[in-house]
């Protein structure tokens, strides 16, 4: 999962909090909110924030200059179409490209929202329901029964869903719905389904390619070993756990981290954690280079990297989501290993009764 961060242009263009001296309780502030410095916000009249004709003329001149800068930079552009280039698809790590991706749908705002307590309750309820109902759904309800017979097809279906959502991000008409259901916003969650939808959402080709490569590498083997229902439960609950950790992290760390995030990394770290717990000595290749120590050592190194990222706040990755998915994956690995031990003990007891 990846943060969409605000770039240094925000300060270089003179966007200071006290530039227009808007009272917090004014009607304009409550109406426009954080959209004040968007291009559509610049077209709205200033009523309660300007005092006197001289100050009004001066502020309007600053506003025109600021709007001209935005027009030349093409930031916060409401009417400009999104133009994708193949070379930009592989420059996903660039902060400006992520910022422009964020600004594409800032025009879509909703009046409703969910509190973090409500989101946590809904997320935990979803996880419990998925854990309990998955075996029955995949055993009795088509087309899920097909995946029970062919577990690897479930992995390919998840790959297809992620690719389909990636294509939808290229269509401006779908941005309104993608922002609501496929983007994990920290300051105001517009839909509870974003806890799941954000785990199937990617805006950049490199991000999608890396995550889907990891899913194909670990998911096909783990789905065959666990079965479709257990793999589905692991993947979905790891995604939800990663989203909940991502939402709670800014509040626990007391930082103003309001940038939205998206991506399947939380679910993939859950898959990797379960795989490494069940097969700790499996060989892991980083591209073509083997990682010494096996899967469990590689997983511990990744967990330490994510923990350090949460503490030092480097880069643009959602490390809290990675940690949440990792913990859920290890928990699933522990539960599955304990169930396997009990089944082996029952088999041994049944065999000893015949002798």
Catalytic residue among 191, 265, 276, 326: 265
Would you say the C-alpha torsion 27, 33, 37, 38 has a positive or negative sign? negative
Catalytic residue among 202, 233, 322, 326: 322
* DSSP at 2: E
CA distance 214 to 191: 28
Separation in Å, CA 214 to CA 222, 268, 285: 12, 7, 11
Q: Which ranges of 142-204 does DSSP label H, i.e. alpha helix?
A: 144-149, 151-168, 175-181, 194-197
Count of Cβ atoms closer than 10 Å to residue 134 Cβ:
21
Verify whether residue 281 is a known catalytic residue.
no
Verify whether residue 229 is a known catalytic residue.
no
- The two structure tokens encoding residue 145: 């029964």
Would you say the C-alpha torsion 290, 294, 295, 298 has a positive or negative sign? negative
268 with 317: CB under 8 angstroms?
no
Count of residues making up the chain: 355
Count of Cβ atoms closer than 10 Å to residue 306 Cβ:
22
CA distance 175 to 29: 25
Q: Which ranges of the chain does DSSP label H, i.e. alpha helix?
A: 9-12, 27-32, 39-42, 53-73, 86-89, 95-103, 116-140, 144-149, 151-168, 175-181, 194-197, 205-226, 228-253, 265-278, 295-312, 319-352
CA-closest candidate to residue 31, choices 104, 111, 107: 111
Catalytic residues, which ones?
Answer: 265, 322
């Amino acid at each position: 999962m990846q943060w969409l961060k605000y770039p240094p242009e925000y300060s270089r263009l003179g966007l200071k909090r006290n530039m227009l001296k808007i009272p917090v309780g004014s009607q304009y502030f409550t109406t426009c909110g954080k959209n004040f410095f968007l291009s559509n916000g610049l077209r709205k009249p200033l009523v309660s924030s300007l005092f006197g004709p001289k100050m009004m003329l001066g502020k309007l001149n600053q506003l025109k200059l600021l709007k001209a800068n935005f027009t030349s930079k093409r930031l916060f552009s409401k009417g400009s179409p999104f133009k994708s280039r193949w070379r930009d698809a592989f420059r996903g790590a660039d902060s400006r490209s992520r910022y422009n991706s964020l600004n594409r749908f800032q025009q879509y705002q909703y009046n409703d929202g969910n509190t973090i307590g409500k989101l946590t309750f809904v997320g935990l309820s979803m996880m419990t329901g998925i854990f309990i109902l998955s075996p029955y759904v995949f055993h009795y309800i088509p087309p899920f029964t097909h995946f029970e017979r062919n577990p690897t097809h479930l992995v390919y279906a998840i790959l297809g869903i992620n690719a389909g959502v990636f294509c939808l991000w290229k269509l401006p008409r779908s941005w309104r719905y993608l922002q609501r259901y496929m983007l994990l916003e920290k300051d105001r969650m517009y839909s509870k389904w974003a806890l799941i939808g954000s785990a199937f959402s990617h805006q950049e080709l490199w991000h999608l390619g890396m995550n889907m490569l990891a899913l194909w590498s670990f998911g096909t083997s783990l789905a065959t070993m666990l079965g479709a229902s257990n793999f589905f439960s692991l993947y979905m609950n790891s995604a939800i756990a990663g989203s909940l950790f991502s939402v709670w992290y800014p509040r626990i760390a007391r930082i103003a981290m309001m940038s939205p995030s998206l991506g399947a990394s939380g679910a993939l770290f859950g898959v990797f954690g379960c795989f490494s717990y069940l097969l700790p000595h499996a060989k892991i290749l980083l591209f073509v280079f083997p990682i010494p120590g096996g899967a469990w050592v590689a997983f511990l190194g990744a967990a330490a990297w994510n923990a350090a990222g949460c503490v030092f706040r480097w880069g643009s990755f959602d490390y809290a989501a990675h940690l949440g998915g990792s913990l859920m994956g290890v928990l699933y690995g522990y539960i599955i290993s304990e169930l396997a031990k009990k089944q082996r003990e029952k088999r041994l007891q049944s065999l000893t009764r015949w002798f």
